[in-house]
């Protein structure tokens, strides 16, 4: 699946003033995550959700609180892959979709969409 073919799914949506609201960005995030999950499955990974939406337990102003971040648990052959490097192929794909991958800052299972200067 080429990313260009799915660009319409992840393009920025704006209102009549040219602003992408938080709700619009959350919708774009969910659509992009669905592409990431499909990519992971095609590449032999099994996926479960870690933190998707949280109310506490993360750093102040975490994008988990804004529903713009998710931690994914990945498995191959039923074995949990816990090292950040295990997520590298997914992280690179996620970045091609326009997201921020936590592997760049020591949290390989973290996938987010930048918002107000936060990743």
Q: Which pTM was predicted? A: 0.85
The model's pLDDT over 60-72, given as tens digits with 9 standing for 90+, comes to 677 877 889 999 9
Q: Where are the domains of the chain?
A: 3-112
Question: Cβ distance 98 to 20 under 8 Å?
Answer: no
The model's pLDDT over 13-56, given as tens digits with 9 standing for 90+, comes to 666 777 778 888 898 899 999 999 999 999 999 999 988 766 66
**pLDDT above 70 for 115:** yes
Instruction: Please state which CATH class domain 3-112 belongs to.
Output: alpha beta
Half-sphere exposure of 36 (CA within 13 A, CB side): 36
């Amino acid at each position: 699946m080429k990313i260009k073919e799915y660009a319409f799914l992840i393009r920025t949506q704006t209102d009549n003033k040219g602003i992408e609201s938080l709700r619009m960005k959350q919708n774009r995030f969910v659509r992009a995550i669905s592409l990431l999950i499909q990519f992971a499955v095609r590449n032999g990974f099994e996926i479960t959700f870690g933190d998707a939406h949280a109310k506490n337990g993360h750093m102040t102003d975490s994008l988990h609180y804004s529903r713009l971040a998710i931690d994914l648990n990945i498995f191959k052959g039923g074995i949990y892959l816990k090292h950040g490097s295990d997520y590298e192929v997914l992280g690179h794909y996620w970045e091609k979709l326009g997201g921020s991958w936590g592997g760049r800052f020591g949290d390989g299972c973290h996938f987010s969409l930048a918002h107000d200067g936060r990743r």
